[in-house]
Amino acid sequence: MNQIKKLKINLSEAITQSLNLDDFNEKNCQADILRIDKIHPIISGNKWFKLKYNIESALEQKYTTILTFGGAYSNHIIAVATLANELGLKSIGIIRGEKPKELSHTLKSAKENGMQLKFISREDFKNRNSESYNKSLVDVYGDFYLIPEGGASAKGRKGTEEILCLANQEYSHIMCSIGTGTMYIGLVNSSKNQQIIGIPALKGIGDLLDQYSLFIKEEKKEYCKIFYDYHFGGYAKKNNELIKFMNDFFETNNIPTDFVYTAKLLYAFFDLLKKDYFPKNSKILIIHSGGLQGNLSLPANTLNF
Ligand SMILES: *Cc1c(COP(=O)(O)O)cnc(C)c1O
């Protein structure tokens, strides 16, 4: 895809960095973080991998407009807006909830990237995947290529199967954050006899492995593990302990995290390490899935980075 080459996605930026585990020497573990957050300033982290095959397909079919869904702080929305802009495509974002008096940073910059925003009620948002709603969108916007919220589709999962190719060592465990689970499923299906640990950023979501079961290869199922207790109260919820953790983690490792996903993931990693979850000599790879723009919604001076 020649057009895709126009994008300033730089996969060689996705380096692995070893975390400082000096306080845990007796555990004899190694942990590396895979910085896929660094591949692009906005289309960062797992969003690129989830969008890649969607965009390729849209371009192949000569669509000129992309339509997608998301919340006011969505990393997916800003990634789609930026990607469409860089490719010279139109984009439409259907946003959950009433239009706020002041747009979030995310929506402002989506708009600056030419995204047309439409706010719909939470009730309508629930019906966004229905045929009748889709038809009403076509009536208003004409022909468009639809990317589901969060890039959660077979194409999204396929793209995330390419993430682990960027890490060139052998690991015993791989850890990632979970929103829709698209990346988790892609990692599981592309792993090699490694345990894949998922940390959901949401609360009260039921048995995820049961929900993902159809999409996960049978022989990989025994390697799946999810810890449900690191959501800090729910999606995008945070407390002082989490913020302090983010600042301490940055001070020690010089790596920024976002409060919605990757901070909770890394908090979970250290908590599991403390609780001796990992056998001696484990080598753990943690995926830095991006999302740093979300921190702009925090009051100034909350973070030391
Ligand atoms: C969107 C996002 C996730 C969640 O990914 P899913 O594939 O939806 O589970 C995790 N981390 C970051 C930083 C994200 O932006």
Asked if residue 2 has pLDDT above 80, the reply is no
> Ligand 1: does its nearest atom lie under 6 Å from the Cβ of 159?
no
Mean pLDDT of 42-67: 96
Residue-level pLDDT at 1: 60
> Ligand 1: does its nearest atom lie under 6 Å from the Cβ of 86?
no
Residue-level pLDDT at 169: 86
Task: Kindly report, residue by residue over 102-148, the tens digit of the pLDDT.
Answer: 999 999 999 999 999 999 999 999 999 999 999 999 999 999 999 99
Looking at ligand 1, which residue's alpha carbon is closest to its atom 4? 179
d(CA 37, CA 46): 8
Ligand 1 atom with the shortest distance to the CA of 160: 7
Residue-level pLDDT at 15: 97
Residue-level pLDDT at 258: 98
> Ligand 1: does its nearest atom lie under 6 Å from the Cβ of 291?
yes
Q: What is the DSSP code string of the chain?
A: -HHHHTS---GGG--EEE---GGGGGG--EEEEE-GGGG-SSS-THHHHHHHHHHHHHHHTT--EEEEEE-TT-HHHHHHHHHHHHHT-EEEEEEESSPPSS--HHHHHHHHTTEEEEEE-HHHHHTTTSHHHHHHHHHHH-S-EEE-GGG-SHHHHHHHTTSGGG--S--SEEEEEESSSHHHHHHHHH-SS-EEEEEESSSS---HHHHHGGGS-GGGGGGEEE--S-STTSTT---HHHHHHHHHHHHHH-----TTTHHHHHHHHHHHHHTT-SPTT-EEEEE----GGGGGGSPTTSS--
Q: How many C-beta atoms lie closer than 10 Å to residue 158's C-beta?
A: 18
Task: Kindly report, residue by residue over 257-279, the tens digit of the pLDDT.
Answer: 999 999 999 999 999 999 999 99
3-12, 225-234, 277-286: least confidently modelled range: 3-12
Asked if residue 31 has pLDDT above 90, the reply is yes
pLDDT band at 293 (very low <50, low <70, confident <90, very high): very high
Could you tell me the distance, in angstroms and rounded to a whole number, from the CA of residue 73 to the centre of ligand 1?
A: 12
Looking at ligand 1, which residue's alpha carbon is closest to its atom 2? 179
Ligand 1 atom with the shortest distance to the CA of 258: 13
Could you tell me the distance, in angstroms and rounded to a whole number, from the CA of residue 4 to the centre of ligand 1?
A: 22
Task: Kindly report, residue by residue over 117-128, the tens digit of the pLDDT.
Answer: 999 999 999 999
Task: Kindly report, residue by residue over 167-193, the tens digit of the pLDDT.
Answer: 988 999 999 999 999 999 999 999 999
> Ligand 1: does its nearest atom lie under 6 Å from the Cβ of 29?
no
d(CA 246, CA 111): 29
> Ligand 1: does its nearest atom lie under 6 Å from the Cβ of 194?
no
> Ligand 1: does its nearest atom lie under 6 Å from the Cβ of 177?
yes
pLDDT, averaged across the chain: 96
Looking at ligand 1, which residue's alpha carbon is closest to its atom 3? 179
Could you tell me the distance, in angstroms and rounded to a whole number, from the CA of residue 151 to the centre of ligand 1?
A: 10
